[in-house]
Copies of this chain bind each other. A is one copy, B any other.
Amino acid sequence: MITKFQSQTNPNISVDCVIFGFDGSNLKVLLLQRAGRDNLDIDDPTMVLPGDLILDYEDLDEAASRILFELTGIKDLYLEQIGAFGHPDRLAKALDRKWLNAIRLEPNARVITVGYFALVNVDDYKLRPSGFAKFAEWKDFREVGELGFDHNEILDKAIDKLRNKLYREPVGFELLPAHFSLHQLLSLYKEIMNSDIDKRNFRRKMLKTGFIQETEHFQAGVPHKPARLYSFVREEFDNIKQQKFKFY
């Protein structure tokens, strides 16, 4: 990912992706170990977000899609820009510099990065682990340590954006399989929003929205009453979307 096409890349602009996944109880972030053992002989255990310099004729969104595809094999996943990060010292830590010197054609170039967050269904991801998977790790978002570059800042912003988004639109479905139980959905909301939500009220409210559709499928292989599975009907949501205005 890193050394390929280096001559066609723009040395000043990169894209970094925060890939969120949900394992049923915790919100996870996909992290990479910066120095893949076999690419390089520098010993650098730093974890980072997946990212790369952009190619010369590539739009920013395309660059993000490319990086995500190379990493997960998933083509159409939910992707949203977080914003640009451009502090002049964002690449100034000692280990960051060492890595840049080993890897980049222009290690001293100033780089602005554009952050993205992606939502993936972890099950899909497991289907085609890429060559990177060996050095990739799903990490509980609350337990992420110090990352390379300014990636902690990007991650924080991503979480913020995700919360804000979920507050306004039902993006949570992107993190779940096509058929999910209301319990799964509730857990997801609780986890992302970091708050308790009443089960009965949640059900009522969700079902009333009209974009959660009952299916004929049920949970399987559980040692208790299996829950009915539902699916998300995007069209219904799109209809409803003309939200009422509500101000502070």
Interface residue ranges, A against B (CB under 8 Å):
10, 12-13, 54, 56-60, 81-88, 110, 112, 114, 164, 166-170, 189, 193, 195, 197, 205, 209, 237, 245-248
Contacts and interface: CB of A to CB of B under 8 A. Distances in A.
A112 B13 contact: yes
A13 B114 CA distance: 12
Contacts of A209: 248
Contacts of A114: 83-84, 86, 112
A117 to B, nearest CB: 12
Contacts of A164: 168
A195 B114 CA distance: 34
Q: Which of A54, A60, A189, A248 has the most CB of B within 10 A?
A: A248
Given A10-B12, A10-B110, A245-B167, A84 B56 contact: no
Given A169-B248, A248-B168, A84 B81 contact: yes
A88 B246 contact: no
| Residue of A87, A112, A237 with most partner-chain B CB within 10 A | A112
Contacts of A60: 84-87, 112
A59 B81 contact: no
B86 A83 contact: no
Nearest to A189: B247
B87 A84 contact: no
A97 B144 CA distance: 45
